[in-house]
Amino acid sequence: MLISVDFGSETPIYMQIYEQIVMAIASGDLAPGESLPSVRRLSEDIGVNIHTVNKTYAILRDEGYLKMFLRTGAAVATKMPDKENIYPAMNDKLRQLSAQASIHGITEDEFLKMAADAYAESTKGKSGNIL
């Protein structure tokens, strides 16, 4: 997969990398078990501090998307975390989004349609468990 970091963006760099890796796992651009470059190699190629990539990898590992190995670096997990784990965080984000939607005059139907489209797009049509 291609990771592209925009140094002019408001979004922190570690977050940009995080978001792109999660998107790539969902879309299948990163296959389950596919190995990722080491922290050092990736930070060299993007041209960012080694701690930035380290932070991203640590979060991804803690959330269960990545497995870290001492010798070979990192790899996409072969078994993704259960959906129960993500419910609370997802709820928070959804409440935030629906609040913004209603402020901007987006109806519930429109909001649901947008959610369905975004879901289809990020999973490239594969619904449910990507594994």
Residue corresponding to tokens 């993500």: 86
Nearer to other proteins (CB atom), residue 38 or residue 67: 38
Beta-carbon-side half-sphere exposure of residue 83 (alpha carbons within 13 Å):
4
What is the total residue count of the chain?
131
Of residues 82 and 104, the one with the C-beta less far from other proteins: 104
Of the two residues 2 and 70, which places its CB atom closer to other proteins in the complex?
Answer: 2
- Rounded to 10°, the helix 50-62/13-27 angle is 50
Q: Give the pair of three-digit tokens for residue 131.
A: 């594994």
CB of 127 to other proteins, least distance (A): 19
Determine the residue type at 94: L
Q: What is d(CA 131, CA 123) in angstroms, rounded to the nearest whole number?
A: 12
- Comparison of 3 and 59: residue with beta carbon closer to other proteins: 3
- Interface residues with other proteins (CB under 8 A) are 1-10, 27, 29-30, 34-38, 40-50, 73
The least CB distance from residue 106 to other proteins, in Å, is 20
- To other proteins, the closest distance from the beta carbon of 125 in angstroms equals 14
Q: Output the smallest distance, CB 100 to other proteins, in A.
A: 18
